[in-house]
Amino acid sequence: MALMVPALMQLVLLFLVSSGRRASSASSFFDEDILLGSAFRDASGLISQRRERNGSSGSKSSWGEGGWKEEILWLARRPETVEWLKRLRRRIHENPELAYEEVETGKLIREQLDGMGVEYCFPVALTGLVATIGTGGPPFVAIRADMDALPIQEAVEWKHKSKVPGKMHACGHDAHVAMLLGAAKILKIREHHLKGTVKLLFQPAEEAGIGAKRMIEDGALMDVEAIFAVHVSHEHPTSVIGSRAGPLLAGCGFFKAVIRGREGHAGNPHHSVDPILAASAAVISLQNIVSREANPLDSQVVSVASFNGGDDLDLIPDSVIIAGTFRAFSNASFYQLRQRIEEVIIQQSSVYRCTTSVDFFEQERFYPPTVNDEFMNEHVKKVAIDLLGPENYKIVPPMMGAEDFSFYSEVIPAAFFYIGIRNETLGSTYTGHSPYFMIDEDVLPIGAAVHAAVAERYLIEHG
């Protein structure tokens, strides 16, 4: 497919890989991926040369206050950096790991950070880690990437297709990791410009297991006053940034209710307690929560997506299971929905003499709304426009999808933004979680640059 590496490039890569390889006793599938050390040293040297050519040196050089855009973009777009980013992303893509299983992905990240001389704390949230770059003192700002893949069989036929049957990076988290490593590289080179400390959060288990919550519980946000994250989006052309202030992604919860009655012959229903009737009444009543109780201007959803009970035409079953999902764009509405779903199912069932338990999977799949802080969103917008031009920034509408980044945005000012990966020529037009999902890898250097710039400029403005 269109994302193949040209043959000549492969030869160059092969040479770079073998010449940059470190002695390592670890035997992972990432072993050969130690390009960074030499590329990093090259970049530092070249920057010094360019500073000298510009007639300045140190933090007051033209690469400092005035020249930050040029240097960040230059660092990100160097051919060595671009190839390194693609290589990282392809390695991760070929070896997808599900929630809390990101062992090899984490090893790759640590190898790369070691090569850059970046310090990190590991493990955090089981398989995650937090790297730090900067002065070591306040202010602290965080940028985050998620690392996990999905239990999906990849349907895209290309050279770097997933090697693990039934697992795929179908949400672009492989790209997120590569972009955050790219940002680490840029920030490390520009560390003398940082007016505080950047924490880089490599988070496990976004798709399941709410890894963000566990990162917070393990202290990842300690001293951090603001956090940012980017997600690839097939809805925007490659490298176009999109965001909005306020609610961006819905809160998303799931429920499963077991409604218990008493089994009995269907011809003599008075000898049974009918959970089918109770569950049916509960399903009807659930529809009234949004239509009768919610403000019509406050978008909310309750959907029953599963109804199971009985398999005998002549027998009223002992129990029925109903299950579904609910969404809302404010914390108040989201937690209100959770409470009302529980009340309606339990009380409606009791009308029909049934007993009910409702599970909300709150330790696995329970995502509050992602709400962008007005000032943090403005910061992203300003940096994106400064770096990429106004034509490459868009205000986007809210979406019914969900993200566990919301746990961070509940705690500190935060902004979550999109970066486009849509390229009709390549065919990167499928939504996340599709087996046909693919990205335009040209996004990688720009994503790294935006991440780095968002963090660096935050510290310049608040340090």
Can you give the binding site for Zn ion, defined by CB under 5 A?
A: 171
Decide whether 109 or 249 has the Cβ nearer to Zn ion: 249
The contacts of residue 201 (CB under 8 Å, 6+ apart) are 128, 130, 142, 143, 144, 145, 215, 220, 227
The dihedral built from the CA positions of residue 435, 440, 446 and 450, taken in this order, carries a sign that is negative
- Going from the C-alpha of 18 to that of each of 12, 14, 22, 279, the distances in angstroms are 10, 6, 9, 64
Residues 437 and 431 sit within 8 Å (Cβ to Cβ): yes
Indicate the residue among 113 and 229 with the shorter CB distance to Zn ion: 229
Q: How far is the CB of 370 from Zn ion (least distance, A)?
A: 12
Distance between CA atoms of residues 4 and 13, nearest Å:
13
Name every residue whose Cβ is closer than 8 Å to that of residue 404 and which is 6 or more positions away in sequence. Answer: 146, 205, 206, 210, 211, 212, 213, 367
What the block records as the tokens of 171 is 């949400």
Q: How far is the CB of 173 from Zn ion (least distance, A)?
A: 6
Q: Of 349, 394, 376, which Cα lies nearest the Cα of 240? A: 394
Shortest distance (Å) from residue 236 CB to Zn ion = 15
Task: Give Cβ neighbours of residue 4 (< 8 Å, ≥ 6 apart).
Answer: 158, 159
* Rama region for 288: left / alpha / beta (φ>0; ψ in -120 to 50; rest): alpha
Residue 93 known to bind ligand: no
| Closest to Zn ion by CB, 150 or 454 | 150
Helices 79-94 + 68-77 axis angle, to 10: 60
Instruction: Give the tokens for residue 317.
Output: 């079953």
3-state secondary structure of 231: strand
User: In this complex, which beta carbon is closest to Zn ion, that of residue 172 or of residue 261?
Assistant: 172
Nearest distance from C-beta of residue 103 to Zn ion, angstroms: 20
Handedness of CA 202, 409, 182, 135 (dihedral sign): negative
Q: Which is nearer to Zn ion, 171 or 443 (CB)?
A: 171
Whether residue 173 is annotated as binding a ligand: the answer is yes
Q: Which is nearer to Zn ion, 109 or 171 (CB)?
A: 171
Asked if residues 280 and 238 have their Cβ atoms less than 8 Å apart, the reply is no
Is position 433 annotated in a ligand binding site? yes
Annotated binding-site residue? 451: no
CB 432, min distance to Zn ion, A: 5
Task: List the one residue out of 159, 142, 144 whose CA is nearest residue 91.
Answer: 159
The nearest distance, CB 207 to Zn ion, in angstroms, is: 5
CB of 232 to Zn ion, least distance (A): 8
Q: Minimal CA–CA distance to 33: which of 48, 53, 18, 47?
A: 18
Closer to Zn ion by CB, 80 or 174: give it.
174
176 is in an annotated binding site: no
In whole angstroms, give the CA distance from residue 371 to residue 392: 22
Min dist. Cβ of residue 403 to Zn ion (A): 7
Nearer to Zn ion, 171 or 220 (CB): 171
Nearer to Zn ion, 169 or 199 (CB): 169
- What is the smallest separation between the CB atom of 175 and Zn ion, expressed in angstroms? 10
The size of the chain, in residues, is 463
* Nearer to Zn ion (CB atom), residue 113 or residue 171: 171
Q: How far is the CB of 77 from Zn ion (least distance, A)?
A: 25
Q: Which residue is nearest to Zn ion (CB)?
A: 171
Closest by CA to 277, choosing from 288, 264, 291, 290, is: 264
Q: Residue 2: what are its φ and ψ, rounded to 5°?
A: -70, -15
Q: Which residues are annotated as a binding site?
A: 171, 173, 207, 231, 433
Q: Which residues are annotated as a binding site for Mn(2+)?
A: 171, 173, 207, 231, 433
